[in-house]
Amino acid sequence: MNIAIDCDEVILDTTPAVREFYISLHPDTFIPENEYSGNWTVFGPDAAAHAANWRAFIDDFANTENFARIPPLPGAVEYIRQLKRDGHRIFVLSSISNDAAVCDRRAAYLEKTIGPGVIDRVVCITLATSKKEELRRNNADILIDDTIRNIDDAIDMGIHAILFKCKENAKIIRAMQCGETQKFPHAFFQQFDSAKVCTNALIADGWPSVVEIVRSIKN
């Protein structure tokens, strides 16, 4: 099967590296741990300005040496290699940047970290944009992603959707499962159908769980 795998917070433990970079620039600023950088209040209260400031910051981060030193999450390397040995086609679909140089650095680092010949293709698209087009173009059978909006889209497309549970989305997943979405800003849960995701997504708690779920899927 064709398996699309998100990169940040699924393969690589990106948030701590991004947080460290921000603090190096603004040492007197408090940045919470285990929270997606896109949710940090330091980028401003206005939605449009917040998004622009966040994208500019991530662009800066992607052009640092630290971008090519982000450590993999526990089990990621071992179990992605296992998926390849199981006969799957692996492509990484990362919404970090559509800059070709950034994508080349990401691809080179992933090959160095995971090994040559394991990942068939690395696709990078603009930060926080929909993955639908690339999922369709690459004939994805499975998507492994930590962003619930992407999981929602995959379900709509008839793609097996594996929601990767990580430090950054654990509270969100728990809120959906327990019916406590009111604890989050109303606009956040307007981005996707939480009931549909809870019903149809396959939730993986770590990489061993990912491989177990993939092996249970019949194409």
CA distance 188 to 191: 6
Residues in the chain: 219
Nearest of 29, 7, 9 to residue 172 by alpha carbon = 9
pTM reported for the whole predicted model: 0.92
Local confidence pLDDT in tens for the 219 residues of the chain: 999 999 999 999 999 999 999 999 999 999 988 888 988 989 988 888 888 999 999 999 999 989 999 999 999 999 999 999 999 999 999 999 999 999 999 999 999 999 999 999 999 999 989 999 999 999 999 999 999 999 999 999 999 999 999 988 888 888 877 776 665 654 555 667 777 888 889 999 999 999 999 999 976
Q: Which two tokens stand for residue 48?
A: 């449009």
Q: What is the CATH number of domain 2-13+72-216?
A: 3.40.50.1000
Q: Are 78 and 115 in contact (CB under 8 A)?
A: no
